[in-house]
Amino acid sequence: MMPIEVDTHIPCLIKFERGVIGSNMMSFDVWDGETPGYALK
C-alpha cells in the first residue's frame, strides 16, 4: 500500500437558481474502469 495524498471521493451539493438542489458523488479511487465517463452539457 502507498499513502494517498489527494482526495479520491468528492461529494457536492448544487443549488440552482430556481431553488432545486442536486447532489453528486464522484470517486476516482479505481485503477481502470470499463464504463464510459459522463459529461453535462
pLDDT tens-digit readout, 23-40: 988 877 766 667 666 666
Residue 25: name the closest of 40, 8, 4 by CA.
8
* Nine cell digits for residue 17: 437558481
Euclidean distance between CA atoms 3 and 15, whole angstroms: 34
Q: Are strands 21-27 and 9-15 parallel, antiparallel or unpaired?
A: antiparallel
Position 13 pLDDT exceeds 60: yes
Segment (H or E) for 28 = none
pTM summary value: 0.44
Sequence letter at residue 24:
N
Nearest-angstrom CA–CA distance, 22 and 15: 6
